[in-house]
Amino acid sequence: MLIFCLYQKERNSMNVLDVMRTGPVIPVIVIEELAQAVPLAKALVAGGVRVLEVTLRTAPALEAIRLIAREVPDAIVGVGTLTRPQDFKDALDAGAKFGVSPGLTPAMIQAAHETGLPLLPGVMTPSDVIAARLAGFSELKLFPAQQAGGIGMLKALGGPFPDVTFCPTGGVSVENAPDFLALPNVACVGGSWLAPKAALVAGDWDKITALAKEASALKAR
């Protein structure tokens, strides 16, 4: 097990903060058809968005990660919606460079440490933040961000947890993203608007590249 862990840590040279600081937005991607994976990734990268979170909400997700990792070398592809310990190893085997989860459990903490997969775990309350910090995580996803209190919650969390950096996700849009990015404890935001279902179905990759260009240019307001 020790040899495996050391191998995985070497294999994943980027840490979570590196991933978060690569760009202002991490797109939350749902791939229904495997054929969409590579052209979607290429369109996002062409627009300046390199970090891609492919969620485990659909059957083709792991194979999509595998294809993107192999065929789009400029992409930093990760896995989202990690909810089970086995997901961590499956994601690594598929080529994921990081993982994102909606929450955090003791079994998931163990899986993250054993596999070495850089993890951005979801939190919603101060108690969640405390538990995650005690487990060694200081980069966290506030999820669902708007329902958890949005900008007001993030400002409140900044007082007792000055060492924690957040990626708010859930209810974040191109319109309100600059307000989140203006907060000192926010490194980036997560959003699904960069890969709308209609554009995926239509194969409108130019539309997705345009959305990516707009997102990659976002700045704090």
The tokens 């260009």 sit on which residue? Answer: 213
Pick the closest to residue 82 from 119, 116, 115, 110 (CA basis): 119
Q: 175 an active-site residue?
A: no
Q: What gap in Å lies between CA 90 and CA 124, rounded to an integer?
A: 26
The tokens 């990015």 sit on which residue? Answer: 181
DSSP, residue by residue, 108-122: HHHHHHHH---EE-E
Q: 197 an active-site residue?
A: no
Structure token digits, residue 15: 């840490």
Structure token digits, residue 90: 């499956």
Residue 144: cis peptide before it, omega within 30 degrees of 0: yes
Helices H, strands E: what count in the chain?
12, 9
Pick the closest to residue 142 from 108, 109, 189 (CA basis): 189
Tallying the residues shown for the chain, one arrives at 221
Q: Convert 171-182 to b/e letters by CB count within 10 Å (16 or more is b).
A: ebeeebbeebbe
Residue of 42, 97, 139, 141 with catalytic role = 141
Residue of 42, 53, 97, 139 with catalytic role = 53
Catalytic residues: 53, 141
